[in-house]
Amino acid sequence: MDDGGTRLKEQTIGRVGVLFGARGGKYPHGNSLLVAGSEETVLVDPSLSIIPRRQHLARVDRVLNSHCHEDHIAGNHLFPEVPWHLHEADLGGIQSLDNLMAIYGYAEPINAHFRQIVVEQFHFTPRPDALAFRDGDVFELGGARLRVIHAPGHTRGHCVFHIEPDDVLYLGDIDLSSFGPYYGDAWSSLEDFERTLQAVRHINARWYATFHHIGVLDGRDAFLERLDRFAAVIHTRTQRLLQFLLEPRTLDEIVAHRFVYRPQDDVPFAAAVERRSMAQHLEQLVRDGRVQEVEPGRYMARSG
């Protein structure tokens, strides 16, 4: 499969087809799954790289989204005739553009700029009749089944899917990348993400698939190694913040220092993500007694 002269790779694991995105699934692209049973075929997280594949996907009966973010729903518009499914907590995001923008929570002028990107580059199409699934729901496809596991933190409704009998755990945006967990939106939660990372450690599978970067991992050992490195980014951010707070600092100074993105990264919404992400770290440290508010709006690490 070609995408502008670039060969798009695919991998088959029993009834599961992994449709790798361009540039190794690096944002804005991603890796989608096509799960084909004898009765139904479902497409999971249609990425931008589904667009050049559309004519070759002879059968798609349902679209399932692991959560409602622009890159995971970018190919939904290609399948207006089939049901779209999301977790009930994220369902509103696909029902209207205003609801989707509330998930990010950007202030102006970033909100207006990103709203335009979501529509023009990611083909956002509202679907008021989208259907909700819940934790534990099972889609029976005929000789294959897909089980929903609620895994919040990245968004309120983020889910992973366990596909049987081929024993594939699709991790969505628990992408095991060196960037680490992303919890920088209004609907993100660091504490939920930490609980999710503990929970997925105990889900045994033969194969592990991510939407970005990694693609497919073979075996639990490889998964746990990547998961530990991914989760360790949270600890690293906390330690860097404690070091920065050896002197009294404001949240604005923390945001400007950058703990999530590198200072040279040209990301229009970086300040918003830094504020949301690191404010959660700061709240944890204050609550745990490791940081104190030494004067209104200024924080410092406790000694000892």
DSSP string covering 181-222, please? ----STT--HHHHHHHHHHHTT---SEEE-SSTT-EEESHHH
Share of the chain above pLDDT 90, in %: 96
Residue 3 pLDDT > 70:
no
Structure tokens at 288: 């745990």
Question: What average pLDDT does this structure show over 263-278?
Answer: 95
Question: What average pLDDT does this structure show over 129-134?
Answer: 98
Which class in CATH covers the domain with range 2-232? alpha beta
Split at pLDDT 50, 70, 90, the class of 123 is very high
Residue 1 pLDDT > 80:
no
> Are β-strands 216-218 and 138-140 bridged in parallel, bridged antiparallel, or unpaired?
unpaired
| pTM (two decimals) | 0.96
> What pLDDT does 303 receive?
84
> What pLDDT does 5 receive?
46
At 88-105, the pLDDT tens digits run: 999 999 999 999 999 999
Distance of alpha carbon 47 from alpha carbon 51, whole angstroms: 8
Residue 2 pLDDT > 60:
no
At 209-239, the pLDDT tens digits run: 999 989 999 999 999 999 999 999 999 999 9
Distance of alpha carbon 301 from alpha carbon 191, whole angstroms: 20
Backbone angles phi, psi at 283, to 5 degrees: -60, -40
Q: Residue ranges of the domains in the chain?
A: 2-232, 245-301
